[in-house]
Amino acid sequence: MKTLTALFTAAALTLTAGLAQADVRVDQIPELVKSGKIKPLEELNQAALKLHPGATITDTDLDNHFNGYEYEVELRRADGTEWDVDFDATTGKVLSNKQDK
């Protein structure tokens, strides 16, 4: 019985973790911007590029977390270094600015 309970708990936690970081569908973004729930993504892209002048954006992702929306920008500089910049999509605050290793 303990094994069954442990398996059920593990499955429930895995499901919950997946829901906590769900990608926002592209067709939902205009309404989120219009309603003021998130900043325009181009504004956040420009903020990421200001942090890494001359870099190129290689990927972006908007996630809906329990505590709000987070926008993730991946960049590559001319020297090949890659950076991940995470923003609070509502305020535009930089949450993380880390170099990939």
Residue recorded with tokens 């420009």? 46
User: Are 94 and 51 contacting, i.e. CB atoms less than 8 angstroms apart?
Assistant: yes
Q: What confidence tens digit (pLDDT) does each residue in 19-32 have?
A: 345 789 999 999 99
**Sheet strand arrangement including 68-76:** 22-23, 56-65, 68-76, 82-88, 94-99
pLDDT of residue 2: 52
pTM for this structure?
A: 0.76
Instruction: Give the chain's end-to-end CA distance (angstroms, integer).
Output: 44
- % of the chain beyond a pLDDT of 70: 78
User: Are 82 and 58 contacting, i.e. CB atoms less than 8 angstroms apart?
Assistant: yes
- Please check the confidence at residue 18 and state whether its pLDDT lies above 50: no
- Please check the confidence at residue 34 and state whether its pLDDT lies above 60: yes
- Please check the confidence at residue 12 and state whether its pLDDT lies above 80: no
Query: What whole-number distance in Å separates Cα of residue 69 and Cα of residue 59?
Result: 17
CA distances from 87 to 3, 11, 64 (A): 40, 30, 12
Residue predicted with more confidence, 79 or 16 = 79
